[in-house]
Structure 1
Amino acid sequence: MPKVIQAGLAYGAIVLGAGFLLGLVRVPLLVPRIGERWAELVEMPIMAVVIDRAAGHMLRRFPDICSPISALITGGLGLALVIAAELTLAGVLQQRSIAQVISSRDQVSGSVYLVMLLIFAAMPRLRLPRHQACASRDHGA
């Protein structure tokens, strides 16, 4: 399996796993106290850190993805995995269609979630300039 595919799947799995674990706290503990919108918004900065760290980890673990196109492919594959998993779980566990899943999102937290998905897809590419292994590789070191 090409390294970029491995990196994309691993990146998606890390972020998906973190989101699942945070959901185990958010749904039973936060949603009843502060509501779904605020519980999701509280989770977003934590997920932003997870995304940033996971992207950095992928760049260290898979130095072959230290090119702009490979980093974008990694992010895109990770995004595809996360979206496919979320829609599949919603369909299987909650018996909801894709349209129902999308329409049920809160306008505020759903909009922030959409932005976070775009950041997630772009983060491996965004991390390239400040990633030591990639920067030193680009300068022949």
Structure 2
Amino acid sequence: MDRKNTSRPSTTLKAAVLAAALYVALAWSAGFIFGVVRELALKPLIGPVWAQLAEAPVMAIVTWLAAGYVLRKLSPAPLATGLLAAAVLIVIETVFALGIRGQSVSDYLAAFDMARGTVFPLLIIWFAIAPWVRAQYGSRRA
């Protein structure tokens, strides 16, 4: 019996889950460090909106680098990895904000209000698609 060398769905899902876990770990760790700097150093000096705007480009670059690292090391399905990682990141952020930081639900949801100047939703979207964008960019450079 001749079997074709095709990826089984369970193998692809397993690779995406592993890649998403690594991607979240890298980005969230960096975000935690930059978040501490933002809250303790930048926010008192320039206010919450400007502090978040100052941190956003740094996190966008970290996301790009983390996506590239994960793609190089694990070769996962890029879009599945990004979407799964974004879902996990939102859960972690929610648990951290509500459970550990003790924020109210309304304060936490305000972090998603772009009318207040927050860019958090844009960073989550970027985080979700960065592996796919990175894979597209890399395939064109060959």
Fold in common (TM above 0.5): yes
Work out the percentage of aligned pairs sharing the same amino acid: 32
Give the secondary-structure state (helix, strand or coil) at the position aligned to 2:102. coil
User: Stretches of 4+ moved more than 6 A in 1?
Assistant: none
Q: In structure 1, list runs of 5 or more residues that go unmatched.
A: 137-141
Looking at structure 1, the residues matched to 74 and 32 of structure 2 have their Cα atoms a distance apart, in angstroms, of 24
Report deviation, 1:135: 7.3
- SS of match in other structure, 1:15: helix
When the two chains are superposed, the root-mean-square deviation of aligned CA atoms in Å is 2.1
| 5+ residue gaps, structure 2 | 1-10
CA contact (8 A) 1:55 1:127 kept: yes
Q: Give the aligned partner of residue 80 of structure 2.
A: 73
Query: Which one of 19, 24, 28 corresponds to residue 36 of structure 2?
Result: 24
CA deviation vs aligned residue, 1:22-71 (integer Å, no higher than 9, x gap): 011111111000001000000000001001001111110112x2xxxx21
TM-score with structure 1 setting the length: 0.81
* Cα 1:47–1:8 shift into 2, 3 Å: same
Q: Which has the larger radius of gyration?
A: 2
Is this contact kept in 1: 2:23–2:67, CA < 8 A?
A: yes
How many positions carry a matched residue from both structures? 129
When normalised by structure 2's length, the TM-score is 0.81
Query: What is aligned with 1:120?
Result: 127
Contact 1:12/1:77 (8 A) holds in 2: no
